[in-house]
Amino acid sequence: MQALEKRVGEAIKLFWQTRDKQHKTQGAKSGAKDAGLRAAVTGGKHLDGFRDICRDIFVEAGVPEAHVYWKSKRELPGYFRATKDWDLIVVADGNLLAVIEFKAQVGPSFGNNFNNRTEEALGNATDLWAAFREGAFSPSARPWLGYVFILEDCPKSQTPVKVNQPHFEVFPEFLQATYAKRYEILLTKLIRERLYDGACLLLSSRKEGLKGKFHSPSEELDVRNFIAGLQARAISFAAMK
């Protein structure tokens, strides 16, 4: 587990290095850059370190690498839509073992992006479980659904956010909550409502992240819990084979 945690630190470092590189080079050939920080993510690759970790967990447990899809063939049928292109899926011997999404948010537009990420996370899970209920992945047992989120640790994400309550009161946990706290609430509720089997929230500033440093706001959202859950899923399937 300690070695895996070290790899997570390297993945955090790669995340920031790749963002910086893409922000500088995106559009160099075309002469046009995407607006704002979008230039740092349209090239992809910034979350590859985390995909590699999850892939290797299955491979080291004995699941052939050919059964882990992270570059192509990641589409799965949905219930409310035809398909969804996930970030990483594991399909072995016709069984859907795991599905994982990797997301990140770096400022400055925390407000709009938080709402978009919330709706996306809820919608993706709802669609997947409805498709599973209707037999879309038969003969698979219930797959393991995971969510990895990296949030920039900065003054804007750590400043309390005012909420408007013109008609009804919001739930008390949201009062004066920062965006970092809102993400903690979101991911914790996603797990407790069993919409996701595992989720981790990694907070990292750019300065510390380039050193591979990060932290999680709670034990429930700690990367060690996420990795342990994913390892258990991989080992249990490999043991049956």
Q: What are the domain boundaries of the chain?
A: 2-240
For residue 147, the 8-state DSSP code is E
Query: What is the side-by-side order of every strand in the sheet holding 198-204?
Result: 68-69, 88-92, 95-105, 144-152, 198-204
- Burial pattern 185-204, b for ≥16 Cβ within 10 A else e, equals ebbbebbeeebbbbbbbbbb
Tens of pLDDT along 100-125?
Answer: 999 999 977 888 899 999 999 999 99
pTM of the model as a whole? 0.88
Q: What is the pLDDT of residue 48?
A: 93
Tens of pLDDT along 34-80?
Answer: 444 433 343 458 899 999 999 999 999 999 999 999 999 999 999 99
Is the C-alpha dihedral spanning 188, 217, 90, 229 positive or negative? negative
Is the C-alpha dihedral spanning 126, 128, 130, 132 positive or negative? negative
Q: By CB neighbour count within 10 A (0-12 exposed, 13-18 middle, 19+ buried), where does 17 fall?
A: middle
Confidence tier at 240 by pLDDT (50, 70, 90): confident
Q: What is the pLDDT of residue 40?
A: 38
Q: What is the pLDDT of residue 188?
A: 98
